[in-house]
Amino acid sequence: MRVAFQGEIGAYSEQAAVSFFGPQIELLPQPDFRSIFEAVVQNRADAAIVPIENSLAGSVHQNYDLLLEFRLPITGEIYLRIRHHLMALPGVRKQDIRRVISHPQALEQCRAFLQQWPDIEIMPYYDTAGSAKRLRDENLRDAAAIASQQAAIEYHLQILASEIESDHQNYTRFLIVERQPKVPETDGKTSIVFATKDIPGALFKSLAVFALRDINLQKLESRPLIGKPFQYLFYLDFEGTLKDDACRNALNHLGEITSFLQILGSYPKGRWI
């Protein structure tokens, strides 16, 4: 199994991929999100792991757009607790550290911890695992990185402080996409994207097709429809799969009242790790 992920070795995406597929997978780090979809389409990878939403920062909108563009079916999901650690080269002590390097979002999530340390310089970098790699590559003995435990192991760094994020309710939801759909028999969910017709109560009627069949909605997200200012695409997750009659009927009904409808995939509900 070859799995494409965005980031450097040691990224949170890598941790999610290993948790989902097991440790025997071959990992393909990619520079950006578009490349992980391309790797699957071009058969260089069998699956891609796609961060779609963080419980603090919100949705990764670019990945919603790429799901629609590439039309690769979603085959799974996993929720990863994000634990940020402060790490440095072995032998470096806390008092040696003059600057802390990480992705801006990680720096923001650890702001309370960093404020206890007023003289420190905060250096935004493109990637959390990339900041750990940089300590090693450039042999930086006056700097620390904020990254995952996996990054510390990968780049032989020492963890100086663990779980330094302010809010521990910090989870990222990752989707798995493959070339072929894998619809589970039971206990699954389904993701779709649709655009409403320009009729009164269009969104209400769209949600009614689920409510009238007692299908629970899990998430609703709107994205702009390019070229049509202030019209929207809606990304919706609901409980149930394409093997359930009620869900298939709801989607047929939804097709009647929408101008566009695409099924992104049915997949088993994800574990929280």
> Which among 231, 232, 206 has a CA at the least distance from the CA of 221?
232
Q: Confirm or reject binding of residue 197 to its own copies (CB under 8 A).
A: no
Residues 231-260, interacting with its own copies (CB under 8 A): 232
Q: Which of 171, 243, 253, 262 binds its own copies (CB under 8 A)?
A: 171
Q: How far is the CB of 180 from its own copies (least distance, A)?
A: 27
Q: Which stretch binds its own copies (CB under 8 A): 1-9, 13-21, 97-105, 212-220?
A: 212-220
Q: Is 230 in the site for its own copies (CB under 8 A)?
A: yes
Alpha-carbon distance values, 202 to 108, 193, 228, 236 (Å): 39, 15, 17, 15
CB of 191 to its own copies, least distance (A): 14
Q: List the one residue out of 64, 51, 34, 48 whose CA is nearest residue 4.
A: 48
Q: Is 167 exposed, middle or buried (0-12, 13-18, 19+ CB in 10 A)?
A: exposed
- The CA-CA-CA angle for residues 66, 151, 176, to 5°, reads 30
Which is catalytic among the residues 174, 210, 234, 238? 174
Q: Is 104 in the site for its own copies (CB under 8 A)?
A: no
Its sign, for the CA torsion 30, 71, 76, 205, is positive
The contact mask relative to its own copies for 74-93 (x = CB under 8 A, - = no) is -----x--------------
Contact 105, 81 (CB under 8 A): no
- Known catalytic residue: 174? yes
Residue 206 CA to residue 192 CA, distance in Å, equals 12
The reply on whether position 269 binds its own copies by CB under 8 A is: no
Among residues 112, 204, 252, 271, the one that binds its own copies under rule CB under 8 A: 204
Strands 143-147 and 85-88, sheet pairing: antiparallel
Residues known to be catalytic: 172, 174
- Provide the binding-site residues for its own copies, judged by CB under 8 A: 53-58, 61, 79, 167, 169, 171, 173, 200-201, 203-205, 207-208, 210-211, 214, 216-224, 226-230, 232
